[in-house]
Chains A and B, each alone.
Chain A
Amino acid sequence: MTKVIVQGKVKGTVLKTTNPINFLGAIDKKTGIIHDQKIDIFEKSIKDSILVFPHGIGSSVGAYTIYSLKSYESAPLAMICKKADLTVASGCALANIPMIVVSKQKFDSIENGEEVEINTESTTILN
């Protein structure tokens, strides 16, 4: 079942990783470039993507990283997770980045590079 954590309506290209993300340690807060080599989208920028990842891990300050990304216009358009964690949920809430949680099956079916639309007001939410 798809669940809305932060509302919004956006369309964009999926950037997907199967690795959990520690926003404080793994992402440059100004550019949005991933600099943790252990993440399979290493050196890619999350800017203006629909970021698909299992969940956030590690530092609680990662919420500020999300807020900072938004201030520098380097944030993803939306985030799709398999599990909601407090750091990502609160960071997206403050930065007004739409965020949804999807089932494992749905998560597995989303492909890197795919065009998707999120509309938290519609009944299907994710298309």
Chain B
Amino acid sequence: MELTQEEQAALNGEKGDTLQTAYRILVATGEATNAEKLVPIDWAHLSGVNYNTIGDSGEEFLRKISHDAKVKVKTTVNPMGFDFDHISEFAHIDNDFIEKQKSIRDSYIRMGVEPTFSCTPYDIYELPNKGTQVSFAESNAAIFANSLGDLKTNKESAFSALASALTGKSPYSDLRKDQSSIPLTVRMKLENPNELDFGLLGFFAGKVSDTSVNISGVSQPDRRSCKALCGGMGTSGTCAKFQFIDEEQNSSEKIDFGKEEMNKIYDELNTTDKGDLITLGSPQLGLQELSDLSKMLKGRSFQKRCMIFCSRAVQNQARTLEHTNEIERAGGEILSDCCTCLTPLIDTNETDSVTTNSVKGAYYLKNSTGVDVNLKPLSRIIEEDTR
């Protein structure tokens, strides 16, 4: 990879340790993806905010670099472990976790990030012009940006996005370059798919494809289904872009996603037929999803605890528009700055199983939190778990 004089100087350590580390990461990821140069980016989105995911060594690393590291471009950040406004309601979370989470939050703020604490930056900010280079680490957000926002990013890692935030640059490779034709098409064969089917489709497509995939047989899914597709896809593979196409126009290799393929993934992720509590999120809900939920809950109440995750910005809008009234009356707990994946809010001493409609949530609830998962669409959650 060719570096400018200035970039080479930073790599040699002439601009301090932090920038040297950042350039070392950019060079490694550039080599890994055969990039010929670095290009400027307009927006970075960082993962690695939840203490549960990065641990003590991550907390220490961020504390250390935040004393001289400053982001060079607009930088948004992923969810933390919990919602500071509601922490007193979760007695099982110990002080050590709270202190470490505070330290991580403060380190990021010291570096100059926007304190969004959200996995759905696309629900908070207007997207920049088509073709703009960004650097998104959160996988569902990277897939959303490339596929539905016409932006350009690779499926960045927590460190490659951080390095991009600190330098304002990313290696010019893979999906950042103009797209050659996509080699694989997944043919959606399910009739009237709901958001869970789209999550499973995403998980399947992510597993069988490389960095990008065509999807045929789908007509204009709503935003909830699109987000579920992005979430599922980001969990299972390396794919960071999909494109809805009309099958006849395309000569790529084809793989069907029908009942059999769906059931296979469903059986991998669904390990019980009943959850002790419900989580909605992963990705966090947007304004329209909260509005829909409030309509679905009219006159009904949750029969078990239900945690509903959305960004702080979306929660504030939803409060102004009064979408939250019906949800809270029905017993739903609206939580911000955190989400389903690896949240310590789920106390594994008290909770054996969780109901969710999120495929991404299901994967991490099972593999990381260590609880059984009851996976079903929102319509069935409302039907079976509210009265």
Chain A residues in the interface with B (C-beta under 8 A): 3-6, 20, 22, 24-26, 29-30, 35-36, 38, 55-65, 67-68, 70-72, 83-87, 89-94, 99, 101
Contacts and interface: CB of A to CB of B under 8 A. Distances in A.
Contact of B32 (A25, A30, A94, A101): A101
A99 B31 CA distance: 11
Contacts of B161: 60
Contacts of B332: none
Contacts of A93: 24-25, 27-29, 159
Given A62-B157, A68-B57, A90-B159, A26 B238 contact: no
A86 B160 contact: yes
Interface residues of B, number: 44
Q: Is the interface of B mostly helix, strand, loop or mixed?
A: helix
B57 A72 contact: yes
A58 B139 contact: yes
5 cross-chain pairs, A with B, having the tightest CB-CB distances, nearest first? A84-B32, A71-B57, A93-B28, A90-B159, A89-B32
Given A25-B368, A86-B154, 9 more contacts: A4-B31, A56-B238, A57-B237, A61-B137, A62-B158, A71-B60, A86-B160, A89-B157, A93-B24
Contacts of A36: 367
Contacts of A71: 56-57, 60
B235 A61 contact: no
B33 A61 contact: no
Given A58-B236, A63-B48, A64-B58, A90 B363 contact: no
A86 B57 contact: no
Q: Is the interface of A mostly helix, strand, loop or mixed?
A: mixed
12 contacts: A20-B237, A29-B55, A36-B367, A38-B268, A58-B234, A59-B234, A60-B47, A72-B57, A90-B25, A93-B27, A93-B29, A94-B21
B138 interface: yes
B363 to A, nearest CB: 6
A87 B159 CA distance: 8
A5 B32 CA distance: 6
A60 B156 contact: yes
Interface of B: 21, 24-25, 27-29, 31-33, 47-48, 50, 53-58, 60-61, 137-139, 154-161, 163, 206, 234-238, 268, 342, 363-364, 367-368
A25 B29 contact: no
Given A60-B158, A90-B25, A85 B54 contact: no
Nearest to A58: B235
Contacts of B57: 64, 67-68, 70-72
Contact of B157 (A20, A55, A60): A60
Contacts of B158: 60-64, 87, 90
A25 B364 contact: yes
Contacts of B237: 20, 57-58
Contacts of A59: 47, 53, 139, 234-235, 364
Nearest to A35: B367
A57 B236 contact: yes
